[in-house]
Amino acid sequence: MSEHHSHGHEHQHDHDHSHLSEMDARVRALESLLSEKGYIDPIALDLIVETYETRIGPQNGAHVVAKAWSDPDYFDWLIQDATAAIHSLGYASRQGEHMVAVANSSDVHHMVVCTLCSCYPWSVLGLPPTWYKSPPYRAKAVIDPRGVLEDFGIKLPKSRAVEVHDSTAETRYLVIPQRPGGTDGWDEKQLAKLVTRNSMIGTGFALDAKDVA
């Protein structure tokens, strides 16, 4: 089955990418200055960033996915109106962007990219990983999504379609990974431990039940 590239809305960003680059440079310069003067510890700062990137943010998304896995009504709501469903759990974005949830199945695998910069659902996934912002990922995800998935160790059967969703300043995507087998009777807290950041971007699967049991 051929790949499908689902862009949802036309990719229009309302921010200036040269400005983002300039702002990033200014932040880095300020960080260096503060470090030199001893006001901040670079190692501590890195730990804070890592915490938001890999723990605090993704835990919000894991809660959303776990509730969707365990509550069919919430799953339906999430698919129909992800923005409202996610906000109902207390995760609201300051940017006010529209959220769209897409669910993986045995027929289709979803993957998210931002081809123009690095639009990303911070409210549910925290800080975007470095590779998500890299030009190689942004280009290859559209041209060769199966190749990207294989780079992440994900090999899909040819019968499973791949849909690539291009995030914008107005619309962000959350992938609902397939629920692992052997989790019948698990509560939301247990299920959330199976949900990884990459599985909610589409570059990974949820963990096996035996890995967290």
Helical residues (DSSP H) of 93-134, grouped into ranges: 122-125, 130-133
Per the annotation, the verdict on 70 as an active-site residue is no
Within 10 A of 60 (CB to CB), how many other CB atoms are there? 19
Per the CB < 8 A criterion, the answer to whether 43 and 34 are in contact is: no
Residue of 35, 105, 117, 134 with catalytic role: 117
Residue of 35, 88, 93, 118 with catalytic role: 118
Per the annotation, the verdict on 119 as an active-site residue is yes
Residue of 70, 119, 123, 199 with catalytic role: 119
Per the CB < 8 A criterion, the answer to whether 156 and 204 are in contact is: no
Within 10 A of 79 (CB to CB), how many other CB atoms are there? 15
Per the annotation, the verdict on 134 as an active-site residue is no
Instruction: Record the tokens describing residue 95, joined without a space.
Output: 């940017």
Residue of 2, 32, 114, 199 with catalytic role: 114
Per the annotation, the verdict on 123 as an active-site residue is no
Q: Which residues are catalytic?
A: 114, 117-119
